[in-house]
């Protein structure tokens, strides 16, 4: 496998899959350009070498070509950030794209229109009648898989090499994120800089672990985190459970949780996970106290109580000070840390204290040499809100992709570049 740093793009066209799926307001102004900025080092390296990037991306979840999801809305901003007048192909396949790609000179950039305007990008049939029979569904799937080959080959024909810098879609086996890699030999496909950083960060918590390894799993529901928790039980020394999940574990053990969030159909599962942790010698760390509220609101009356003695009419919306102390002690002794999900309803200012305390402990451990990875959703919002993003080792840009990686799944976008010749 080649690394982007060792590849010379001089005179070469590179198909670069980026994640420019940025939020736009009603006037199509970009409200957060983080994802575009994240791809700049890769694009700039290609340009500095004297190469020409052909950029492919998706935007939103269009069901066909629509103005709303056109990448033309971001063209000006991409040009400004790159310092190059970026050309635009109003369709990602077809004559215009082919002509513009082929005429591209060193130092020039072409942005293709939204790849998801075509069902072939995702390889899923569109427009099927709701009452379609199983046979019709099967035929439609087969048809789109067939035309996907042509679509993928067309995209590949624009370039001499392939660079994947879209970690956010690495868990999808789409045309431009994985299948396209087959059209390039091992020496002509590689990760971009962002993807490289993400892959390394995941390896540090999944393979190349320095112990003790502590994972902090917060968020709302056990059901959405089961696979992650089960996979982590084989890897971590300490597993801290926080957030709304707490109360399912507390109730399962016979505690009183008042009106707190609970998944009654997951009580057995919670007990099972407690048992598995014991079996595997994992230190499962649960909350001992809670910050409670008499309604689900920032302005609710609040109090603190043991996590298993929450009065009727009250609900746990964050961890309490005793829990903060226990969590911090475990985190500060760790050498590898993974944080996914807040300890409470951090969207309400009055229930951010626990998440902030966890963040502070992670920052402290990081300053003493621990590797810390934050990612997979709302914990990223937490570190940004608390101004801690540059005080942890790595903040992942990939929500779903990171979650699947820590579930232990192979990500097609990574495998396509790593494994195949
Ligand atoms: P997730 O997407 O599963 O990571 O969950 C994040 C969400 O969990 C955030 O919106 C939090 O507000 C929510 N959450 C965290 N703790 C609690 C709690 N104690 N009760 C209800 N929701 C919670």
- Is it the case that residue 250 has pLDDT exceeding 90? yes
Half-sphere exposure (Cβ direction) of 113: Cα atoms closer than 13 Å: 20
- Cα of 293 vs centre of ligand 1, distance in Å, is 15
Please compute the mean of the pLDDT values over residues 15-34 and round it to a whole number.
95
Report the C-alpha gap between 21 and 302 in whole angstroms.
39
pLDDT in tens, 328-374: 999 999 999 999 999 999 999 999 999 999 999 999 999 999 999 99
- Cα of 197 vs centre of ligand 1, distance in Å, is 28
Active-site residue list? 35, 221, 377, 400
Q: What is the DSSP letter of 63?
A: S
- As beta bridge partners, residue 256 has 309
Tell me the two tokens of residue 38. Answer: 């994240």
Out of 226, 258, 378, mutate this one to test ligand 1's pocket (max ligand atoms within 8 Å of CB): namely 378
- Cα of 319 vs centre of ligand 1, distance in Å, is 12
pLDDT in tens, 205-246: 999 999 999 999 998 989 989 999 999 999 999 999 999 999
Please compute the mean of the pLDDT values over residues 5-21 and round it to a whole number.
98
Residue of the nearest CA to atom 5 in ligand 1?
Answer: 219
pLDDT in tens, 108-130: 999 999 999 999 999 999 988 98
Average pLDDT over the chain, rounded to an integer: 96
- What pTM was computed for the model? 0.92
Is residue 242 within 8 A of residue 217, CB to CB? The reply is yes
* Ligand 1 atom nearest 345 alpha carbon: 12
Q: Look-up: residue for tokens 């670069």?
A: 16
* Ligand 1 atom nearest 340 alpha carbon: 4
- CB of 378 within 6 A of ligand 1: the answer is yes
Report the C-alpha gap between 54 and 98 in whole angstroms.
11
Residue of the nearest CA to atom 21 in ligand 1?
Answer: 244
Domains of the chain, first to last: 4-194 (3.40.50.1260), 201-406 (3.40.50.1260)
Confidence of residue 98 (pLDDT cuts 50, 70, 90): very high
- Is it the case that residue 377 has pLDDT exceeding 80? no
- Cα of 37 vs centre of ligand 1, distance in Å, is 29
**Alpha-carbon torsion angle 401, 407, 411, 414, nearest 10:** 90
- CB of 229 within 6 A of ligand 1: the answer is no
- List CB contacts of 170: < 8 A, sequence separation 6 or more: 164, 177, 195, 198, 398, 401, 411, 412, 413, 414
Out of 216, 217, 218, 220, mutate this one to test ligand 1's pocket (max ligand atoms within 8 Å of CB): namely 220
Q: Give the per-residue pLDDT at 148.
A: 98
- Is it the case that residue 97 has pLDDT exceeding 90? yes
Distances in whole angstroms, Cα of residue 106 to Cα of each of 9, 49, 57, 410: 9, 9, 21, 35
- CB of 263 within 6 A of ligand 1: the answer is no
Residue 289 burial (CB < 10 Å; 0-12/13-18/19+)? Answer: buried
Half-sphere exposure (Cβ direction) of 59: Cα atoms closer than 13 Å: 27
Q: Give the per-residue pLDDT at 77.
A: 98
Confidence of residue 376 (pLDDT cuts 50, 70, 90): confident
- CB of 258 within 6 A of ligand 1: the answer is no
| Dihedral sign from CA coordinates of 302, 304, 308, 312 | negative
Closest CA to 334 of 246, 216, 225: 216
Is residue 236 within 8 A of residue 230, CB to CB? The reply is no
* Ligand 1 atom nearest 317 alpha carbon: 19
- Cα of 149 vs centre of ligand 1, distance in Å, is 41
pLDDT in tens, 158-179: 999 999 999 999 999 999 999 9
Using only C-alpha atoms, the chain has a radius of gyration, in whole angstroms, of 24
- Is it the case that residue 28 has pLDDT exceeding 80? yes
- Is it the case that residue 46 has pLDDT exceeding 80? yes
Q: Give the per-residue pLDDT at 421.
A: 40
- Is it the case that residue 391 has pLDDT exceeding 80? yes
Cβ–Cβ contacts within 10 Å for residue 102, how many?
Answer: 10
- Cα of 342 vs centre of ligand 1, distance in Å, is 7
Residue of the nearest CA to atom 18 in ligand 1?
Answer: 244
- CB of 261 within 6 A of ligand 1: the answer is yes
Q: Give the per-residue pLDDT at 167.
A: 95
Report the C-alpha gap between 381 and 30 in whole angstroms.
18
- Cα of 220 vs centre of ligand 1, distance in Å, is 4
Please compute the mean of the pLDDT values over residues 374-387 and round it to a whole number.
91
- CB of 316 within 6 A of ligand 1: the answer is yes
- CB of 186 within 6 A of ligand 1: the answer is no
Helix axes 193-206, 399-406, angle to 10 degrees: 30
Is residue 240 within 8 A of residue 216, CB to CB? The reply is yes
Strand segments, DSSP code E, in 234-279 are: 238-241, 256-257
Tell me the two tokens of residue 66. Answer: 């629509």
Q: Give the per-residue pLDDT at 420.
A: 47
Out of 257, 342, 377, mutate this one to test ligand 1's pocket (max ligand atoms within 8 Å of CB): namely 342
- CB of 219 within 6 A of ligand 1: the answer is yes
- Cα of 233 vs centre of ligand 1, distance in Å, is 22
Confidence of residue 187 (pLDDT cuts 50, 70, 90): very high
Measured at the alpha carbon of residue 234, what is the angle toward residues 230 and 325, in degrees to the nearest 5? 80
Please compute the mean of the pLDDT values over residues 309-319 and round it to a whole number.
98
């Amino acid at each position: 496998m080649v690394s982007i740093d060792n590849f010379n793009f001089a005179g070469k066209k590179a198909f670069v899959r980026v994640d420019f799926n940025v939020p736009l307001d009603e006037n199509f102004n970009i409200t957060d350009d983080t994802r575009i900025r994240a791809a700049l080092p890769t694009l700039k390296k290609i340009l500095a070498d004297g190469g020409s990037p052909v950029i492919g991306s998706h935007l939103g979840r269009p069901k066909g070509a629509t103005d709303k999801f056109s990448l033309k809305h971001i063209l000006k901003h991409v040009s400004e950030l790159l310092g190059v007048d970026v050309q635009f192909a109003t369709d990602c396949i077809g004559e215009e794209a082919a002509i513009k790609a082929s005429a591209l000179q060193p130092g020039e950039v072409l942005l293709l229109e939204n790849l998801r305007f075509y069902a072939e990008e995702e390889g899923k049939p569109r427009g099927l009648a709701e009452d379609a029979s199983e046979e019709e569904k099967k035929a439609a799937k087969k048809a789109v898989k067939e035309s996907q080959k042509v679509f993928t080959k067309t995209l590949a024909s624009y370039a001499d090499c392939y660079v994947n810098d879209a970690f956010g879609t690495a868990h999808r086996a789409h045309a431009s994120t994985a299948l396209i890699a087959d059209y390039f030999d091992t020496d002509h496909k590689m990760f971009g800089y962002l993807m490289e950083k993400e892959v390394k960060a995941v390896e540090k918590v999944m393979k190349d672990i320095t112990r003790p390894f502590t994972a902090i799993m917060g968020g709302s529901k056990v059901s959405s985190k089961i696979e992650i928790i089960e996979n982590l039980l084989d890897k971590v020394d300490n597993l801290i459970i926080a957030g709304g999940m707490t109360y399912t574990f507390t109730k399962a053990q016979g505690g009183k949780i008042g009106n707190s969030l609970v998944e009654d159909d997951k009580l057995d599962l919670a007990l099972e996970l407690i048992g598995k942790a014991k079996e595997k010698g994992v230190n499962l760390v649960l909350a001992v106290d809670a910050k409670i509220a008499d309604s689900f609101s920032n302005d609710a009356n609040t109090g603190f109580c043991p996590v298993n003695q929450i009065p009727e009419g009250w609900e746990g919306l964050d961890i309490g000070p005793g829990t903060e102390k226990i969590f911090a002690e475990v985190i500060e002794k760790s050498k590898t840390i993974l944080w996914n999900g807040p300890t409470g309803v951090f969207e309400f200012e009055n229930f951010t204290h626990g998440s902030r305390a966890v963040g502070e402990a992670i920052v402290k451990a990081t300053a003493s040499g621990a590797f810390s990875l934050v990612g997979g959703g709302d914990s990223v919002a937490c570190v940004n809100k608390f101004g801690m993003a540059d005080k942890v080792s790595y903040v992942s840009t990939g929500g779903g992709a990171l979650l699947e990686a820590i579930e232990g799944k192979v990500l097609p976008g990574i495998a396509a570049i790593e494994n195949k010749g």
